[in-house]
Amino acid sequence: MAETKAQFVSGFEEFDTHVEQHKPKTGSPRAVEATRLGLTVLAFVAGVVIVGTSADTLSIFDSTSLAADFYLPLWPINLDTRPTVALIICGAIIVIASAASLATSKVPSLRSKTTLHHLSSISTPVISLIAAVIAVSFSYGINNSSSDFSIQGWSCQWSAINMTIDPHFETLCMESKTALYLSVMIMPLEVLVLGAVVVDFMTAKTHAVTFDVQERKGSPAMS
Least confident segment among 38-42, 79-83, 210-214: 210-214
Output the pLDDT for position 211: 44
Pair 37, 64: CB distance under 8 Å: no
Q: 202 or 54: whose pLDDT is higher?
A: 54
Domain boundaries, the chain: 39-63+114-199
Query: Rounded mean pLDDT of the chain?
Result: 81
Output the pLDDT for position 22: 44
Output the pLDDT for position 103: 92
* Bond into 24 cis (ω within 30): no
Pair 166, 60: CB distance under 8 Å: yes
pLDDT band at 141 (very low <50, low <70, confident <90, very high): confident
* DSSP of 155-213: HHHTTTS--SSS--HHHHHHHHHHHHHHHHHHHHHHHHHHHHHHHHHHHHHHHHHHHHH
How much is the pTM?
A: 0.77
Pair 174, 151: CB distance under 8 Å: no
